[in-house]
A and B are shown apart, each in its own frame.
Chain A
Amino acid sequence: MFYRRAGIRHTRYQDERQLFPLGFDRGLIIAVLAILLAAPFLFDRLYVSGYLLPWLIWTSAALGLNLLMGWSGQIHLGYGAVMGIGAYGSVHLVRLGVPLEIAMIAGGLLSATIGTMFGGAALRMKGIYLAMATLAMQYVVDFVISHSTVISGGSLATLQVPPVSFLGIPLQGEVPTYYLALGVCFVITLFMLNVRRTSFGRALAALREKDYAAQILGISTFRYKLLAFWVSSFIGGVVGSVLAVTYLRAISPDQFHIELSIQILAMIIVGGLGSVLGPFFGTALILFAPILLNNLLGFTAGKFGWSLPIDLRAHLPLMAYGALVIGFLLYEPLGLAKIYANFRNYLLVWPFRHAQR
């Protein structure tokens, strides 16, 4: 319908190699990008800093984890710890007077270095053993962060982020922080879109399908597993520092606990493993479904005069996460991205049921 084509017929190789071969997709993406760019002037401040900003940050993190879980097929249950390492590393550097641009990269490198050690476990084991190892790493990193006064200043202390500026623009108020998060998210998305067209991305896909086969084809599993962990942890570290600087502004160890890891995992599963679009949808659903549900429940309860116990409403987010994860795994394992793709494929050839391939 909107796409105005029946079947995919490219006449030049160049057309097929494009990132978005269809004109409608290009237009849609430009429109979304324009709305996101104009958001601070279009929407209320509360919506920008309370909804759009976390959405962008968590999406960036989910994209980083998706590189590892969706594309190279390695399980990682400790991504929150990786983000925590980046956050603490960069905040400490900023406090020492290092400019934010360098501190972000350094936080990423620190995360990448430590995160690759998680990957060291992946060289020896896979499947549930890797899941257990990364889960254990999450606890160990939590323990080290919260118990070394040098890093966190004690288990109950929070670390303030001093006023910082990015490329000469002071990060104060909603607008500059929003644009920083948007910029980081844009760069990561662009990287993720393009990485699957490179030899690195294809090597990761081969690794995911069968590691022996990949090794036989001449893809070094040693190298690419470590690289996958390195890249993904680097993204995690950078996103962690963005999270600390733009959203949290004061970090404490409990913000990077296992709950964060599980939240990001749920975003990927709900959004769709191995897709770029998926984390955007998944993050939106996981972040906002509990809020919507809570408001809806509060509204209906108010209307019908029920008195809902406060515990029920406090635990609603957990129930919603769990139900979403279970529901998607059972009924649409490829997540919201697949639902969107089905819809798009249907509209692609709309008056007809099928297209000639």
Chain B
Amino acid sequence: MDWILLAELSTNGVFVGLMYALVSLGIVLIYKTSGTANLAQGAIAMTGGYVTWALATLVGVPIWLAIPAALVIMFGFGLLMERIALRRMIGQPVIMTIMLTLGVEIMLRGILPGVFGAAVKRLDIGMPQQPLFVGELLLNRATMIGGSISLLLILLSLFFFNSRFGVVMRAVADDQTASWSVGIRVERAIAVAWGLAAVSATAAGVLWGSTQGVDWSLSLLLIKALAIAILGGLDSIPGVLIAGVIVGVAESLATGVLDPLVGGGSRDVVAAVIILVTLLLKPHGLFGRHHIERV
């Protein structure tokens, strides 16, 4: 086995994994505060990518302004989605919320390519595309920058949880009824969680969109994000970071090592296998709280 190749694959995998983790952050935020699984996260990332592209290309806003504007718009989108759809699902069986978010995913995947056209959109945010040579390693500069930005954003969200509003959200995550009884507005905390999830998805959508172009395939980030969220434990933000790195490296190694053996395509199945193995061996993930009901 070629050690250089392995080192190269795992280094690139770490950064790709961090970029996946940014999508996953939203799933964890929402699960933590409201106990809802958000299966629309991939499509929201795609929407964020499309919105940024539309602002930059169709409206003609410079890219440094388009990205913050898209983040603000998507924050509003997250709030709106929670207010219109998810809040009515409180107290309904879990099957309903899962199907609802899946419905949102399907609809977004239809609306955006339908309205803006299905061809791949180029989103240039000024990231250098040429590879970087470190010694003998050939590293992808775009994913390195993307991964670093993701890492920064995830660390930032950790700091956010120490702010005043972050403490409110932690309280809601801990016990909704108890935080309600001490005067915390639970609905607002959940709404903000949806808004922030949409923001993190948008950031991920922009980063991914700049490396692979914006089209419907951005919504396929969902399965990787789910794998990271499950492996990290669904309600732990440090878990997202570590699981993201694990999933990224595993996927990258599978592409390099397994693909020649099985004839390609093993990249897509790694996330699914990670979900299955985690759920069968350690359903609460690496850092999750042990609150899963066993039947």
Contacts and interface: CB of A to CB of B under 8 A. Distances in A.
Interface of A: 69, 73, 75, 121, 123-129, 131-133, 135-140, 142-143, 146-147, 155, 211-212, 221, 262, 265-266, 269, 273, 309, 311-312, 314-326, 329-330, 333
A312 B114 contact: yes
A333 B96 contact: yes
Interface string B121-154: 0000000000000000000000000000000000
B111 A319 contact: yes
B263 interface: yes
Majority DSSP secondary structure for residues of B touching A: helix
Contacts of A315: 109-111, 113-114, 118
Interface stretch (B8-16, B166-174, B269-277): B269-277
9 tightest Cβ-Cβ pairs between the two chains A and B: A322-B107, A318-B110, A315-B114, A325-B103, A139-B272, A319-B110, A322-B106, A128-B37, A136-B275
Contacts of A321: 103, 106-107, 110
Nearest to A259: B106
Nearest to A155: B265
Interface residues of B, number: 52
B117 interface: yes
B294 interface: yes
B272 A326 contact: no
Contacts of B276: 121, 133, 136-137, 140
A interface, over-half SS: helix
Contact of B96 (A121, A316, A324, A329): A329
Nearest to B294: A124
A318 B107 contact: yes
Nearest to A148: B262
A133 B102 contact: no
Interface in B82-120: 85, 88-89, 92-96, 98-100, 102-111, 113-115, 117-119
A201 to B, nearest CB: 19
Q: Which of A127, A212, A322 has the most CB of B within 10 A?
A: A322
A319 B292 contact: no
Contacts of B39: 131
Given A128-B37, A129-B292, A135 B110 contact: no
B279 A318 contact: no
